[in-house]
Chains A and B, each alone.
Chain A
Amino acid sequence: ETGVTQSPTHLIKTRGQQVTLRCSSQSGHNTVSWYQQALGQGPQFIFQYYREEENGRGNFPPRFSGLQFPNYSSELNVNALELDDSALYLCASSGKTSGAAKQYFGPGTRLTVT
């Protein structure tokens, strides 16, 4: 059974640029959630995708967008990067889209915006 993987591990971008982060879900999981974790804080929910459609969204602006592909891998895109976007970005997959579901987390992508 393959776990959740994310790429890249680290990334440095300049303010105003755009970035794409990638996540491969655990085998058999059709739901993926993305979280932003600022230094010293708990993760914050960005959005969730189920069967290629956005299924729920946290309090993040539209410049945070995503995609989910038929193989259930996923991308997080952030446009017009701001310094405050510097954080650890985590994706988590699960086998259910609603109700209680165990989440399987990837190792994260650490984004630094300068």
Chain B
Amino acid sequence: KNEVEQSPQNLTAQEGEFITINCSYSVGISALHWLQQHPGGGIVSLFMLSSGKKKHGRLIATINIQEKHSSLHITASHPRDSAVYICAVQGRRSGGGADGLTFGKGTHLIIQP
């Protein structure tokens, strides 16, 4: 079973700061997902990564498969970025079938004006 650890659990920063959230996992994966969850529950997929780096607007996600580690970066952070950011990994299963996603506990990010 894959163990997914995120850090930090809570992060409060000032508007404009560069934010980094880290994720590590224990077993090889087919992909890693970064998700954003706002109060009320809705989850939005930000990135799906299997190697390298992806960028979308002010968000950057990187993954190091050898070290089993990923980071999510937010540049020029804004109060509207305040949310819970969740790392989730998608396992490999031979012979078909699905393992679903294994989630970290999330990072509660608050960006203060």
Residues of A in contact with B (beta carbons under 8 Å apart): 31, 33, 35, 37, 40-48, 50, 55-56, 58, 88, 90, 92, 97-108, 110
Contact = CB atoms under 8 A, between A and B. Distances in A.
B99 interface: yes
B41 A102 contact: no
A107 B42 contact: yes
Contacts, number: 82
Given A55-B97, A56-B97, A100-B31, 10 more contacts: A31-B98, A33-B100, A35-B101, A42-B103, A42-B105, A43-B88, A43-B101, A56-B100, A100-B48, A107-B40
B76 interface: no
Nearest to B50: A100
Nearest to A58: B100
Interface in B21-55: 30-31, 33, 35, 40-45, 48, 50
Interface string B89-101: 0100100111111
Size band of the interface chain B makes with A = 20 to 34
A41 B30 contact: no
B102 A45 contact: yes
Nearest to B43: A105
10 contacts: A42-B104, A42-B106, A45-B102, A48-B98, A55-B98, A56-B99, A90-B41, A100-B30, A102-B33, A102-B48
A20 to B, nearest CB: 19
A42 B86 contact: yes
